[in-house]
């Protein structure tokens, strides 16, 4: 099954080239140049993962990450940053990021992370479904 | 070293760090695009080995993208080099209006991240002062940062450099007028060591959405 990714960065040229390379690897990519637009896209679309730049205008990566996690706790979010300091990594992980990757990113390694995000999200959704069934069975006294 | 001088030295080092950090972030963005272009070429070579023809138009686009990014990096590094040399002379003749433009360029990403925009018209007559270029850059940045800390007016903040009998003056105008003008965001500037060093005087006109910073020249020879 194809992985569905939302790639968010204010660098349009980066989005264009990165998405072309991802599509060549059979990844279904949607792009956005702002975190606010990305939030709207997540509300209406279905993605396995969001790959997002840490430093963006208006709303930075951490703020966007928290906003996404609040409404979509199962969403897997990978942050891209110019400099992955320990402080930044801890902040991102605490806020619920799946990973923090330093730019320039290695696409093969990133593709592996996307696959793992897809699997992780599928597991979370399956677990939710299972819990729902168990709740229903309990309601019927079974 | 006096307390003020020590504070000023530390504030100056912090400012230097803030600017170099944002510059290095910009360089990383350039590198990321060049890296993806190189990766795209590698992908094309791999596809060619499997029998696909080389897409000449796409390759030309890659080349243009790399050239564009090299020019961008050169621009960033030239600004960084100028900034690095700004502390070379204790005191020198500096064009305040031109330094305003330079600070805006240097801190472009930080300004963009605040969602702010500055309009800096070139003064009809050059505002020349004799001072330390690094500290002038710093005091301008502190004023811009204070202006950005206010709710954004939705239109560019106008910054004008003017010569007055008491020294060069920076006017931050066209900021949101009335309720949205936060006097407290600006008034704290007066307590900063760099203001003391410049003997700077701050005047706020909330009803006009404006503040002025007069850079006294009494310390210019230090």
Residue A52 contacts residue A77 (beta carbons within 8 Å): yes
- Which three-class secondary structure state does DSSP give residue B13? helix
Q: Does residue B113 belong to any structural domain of this protein?
A: yes
Total domains, chain B: 2
CATH of the domain at B193: 3.30.565.10
Same domain, B157 and B76: no
Same domain, B145 and B192: yes
**Domain range enclosing B73:** 3-86
Q: Does residue B68 belong to any structural domain of this protein?
A: yes
Report the gap between the CA of A51 and the closest CA in chain B (Å): 14
Chain B residues touching A20 at Cβ < 8 A: 40
State yes or no: pLDDT of B208 exceeds 90.
no
Same domain, B82 and B104: no
State yes or no: pLDDT of B220 exceeds 60.
no
Q: Does residue B222 belong to any structural domain of this protein?
A: no
Report the gap between the CA of B220 and the closest CA in chain A (Å): 37
Q: Give me the mean pLDDT over the A86-113 stretch.
A: 92
Burial-class residue B17 by CB neighbours within 10 Å (0-12, 13-18, 19+).
Answer: exposed
State yes or no: pLDDT of A139 exceeds 90.
no
State yes or no: pLDDT of B77 exceeds 90.
yes
Lowest mean pLDDT among A35-49, A128-142, B15-29, B33-47: A128-142
What is the 3 state secondary structure string of B78-122?
A: HHHHHHHHHHCCCCEEEEHHHHHHHHHHHCHHHHHHCCCCEECCC
**Domain range enclosing A97:** 4-139
Counted across chains A and B, CB pairs separated by less than 8 A come out at: 60
pLDDT (0 to 100) of residue B76 = 96
State yes or no: pLDDT of B222 exceeds 50.
no
Q: How confident is the model at residue B179 (pLDDT cuts 50, 70, 90)?
A: low
The domain boundary, picked from B86, B106, B122, lies at B86
Same domain, B68 and B8: yes
The domain boundary, picked from B86, B106, B134, lies at B86
Q: Does residue B221 belong to any structural domain of this protein?
A: no
| Cross-chain Cβ contact B36/A17 below 8 Å | yes
Predicted-complex ipTM score: 0.85
pLDDT (0 to 100) of residue B1 = 65
Q: Are strands B167-173 and A76-81 parallel, antiparallel or unpaired?
A: unpaired
Q: Are strands A49-53 and A99-102 parallel, antiparallel or unpaired?
A: unpaired
Same domain, B71 and B157: no
The domain boundary, picked from B63, B86, B109, lies at B86
Tokens describing residue A30: 């949607």
Is B222 or A85 the better-scoring residue by pLDDT? A85
Residue B168 contacts residue B100 (beta carbons within 8 Å): no
| Cross-chain Cβ contact A21/B35 below 8 Å | no
Could you say which of A55, A57, A107 has the minimum Cβ distance to residue B39?
A: A107
Q: Give me the mean pLDDT over the B4-25 stretch.
A: 93
Q: Give me the mean pLDDT over the B99-119 stretch.
A: 93
CATH of the domain at A15: 3.40.50.2300
Using beta carbons and an 8 Å cutoff, which residues of B are at the interface with A?
21, 24-25, 27-29, 31-37, 39-40, 43, 65, 68-69, 109, 112-115
Q: Suggest the residue from A7, A11, A13, A31 to mutate for an interface test with chain B (most B CBs closer than 10 A).
A: A13
Total domains, chain A: 1
pLDDT tens figures, B153-165: 778 899 999 999 9
pLDDT tens figures, B118-157: 999 998 999 999 999 999 999 999 999 999 888 777 788 9
Same domain, B74 and B174: no
Same domain, B148 and B175: yes
Chain B residues touching A10 at Cβ < 8 A: 112
Chain B residue closest to A20 (CA)?
Answer: B40
């Amino acid at each position: 099954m194809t992985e569905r990714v939302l790639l968010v960065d204010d660098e349009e040229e980066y989005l264009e080239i990165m998405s072309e390379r991802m599509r060549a690897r059979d990844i279904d990519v949607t792009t956005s140049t702002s975190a606010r637009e990305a939030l709207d896209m997540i509300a209406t679309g279905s993605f396995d993962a969001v790959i997002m730049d840490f430093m963006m205008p208006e709303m930075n990566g951490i703020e966007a990450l928290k906003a996404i996690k609040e409404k979509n706790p199962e969403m897997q979010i990978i942050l891209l940053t110019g400099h992955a300091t320990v402080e930044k990594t801890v902040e991102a992980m605490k806020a619920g990021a799946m990973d923090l990757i330093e730019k320039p990113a290695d696409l093969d390694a990133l593709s592996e992370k996307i696959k793992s995000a897809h699997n992780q999200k599928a597991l979370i959704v399956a677990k939710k479904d299972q819990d729902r069934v168990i709740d229903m069975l309990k309601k019927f006294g079974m | 070293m006096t307390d003020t001088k020590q504070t000023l030295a530390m504030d100056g080092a912090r400012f230097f760090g803030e600017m170099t950090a944002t510059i290095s972030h910009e360089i990383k963005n350039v590198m990321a695009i060049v890296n993806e272009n190189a990766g795209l070429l590698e992908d094309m070579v791999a596809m060619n080995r499997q029998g696909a023809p080389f897409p000449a138009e796409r390759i030309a686009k890659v080349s243009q993208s790399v050239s564009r990014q090299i020019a961008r990096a050169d621009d960033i590094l030239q600004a960084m080099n100028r900034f690095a040399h700004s502390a070379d002379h204790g005191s020198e003749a500096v064009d305040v209006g031109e330094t305003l433009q330079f600070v805006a360029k240097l801190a472009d990403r930080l300004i963009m991240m605040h969602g702010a925009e500055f309009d800096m018209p070139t003064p009809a007559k050059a505002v020349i002062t004799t001072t330390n270029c690094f500290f002038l850059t710093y005091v301008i940045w502190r004023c811009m940062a204070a202006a950005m800390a206010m709710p954004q007016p939705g239109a560019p903040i106008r910054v004008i450099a003017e010569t007055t009998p008491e020294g060069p003056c920076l006017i931050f105008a066209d900021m949101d007028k009335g309720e949205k003008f936060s006097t407290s965001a600006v008034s704290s500037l007066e307590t900063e060591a760099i203001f003391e060093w410049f003997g700077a005087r701050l005047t706020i006109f909330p009803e006009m959405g404006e503040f002025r910073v007069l850079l006294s020249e009494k310390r210019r020879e230090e």
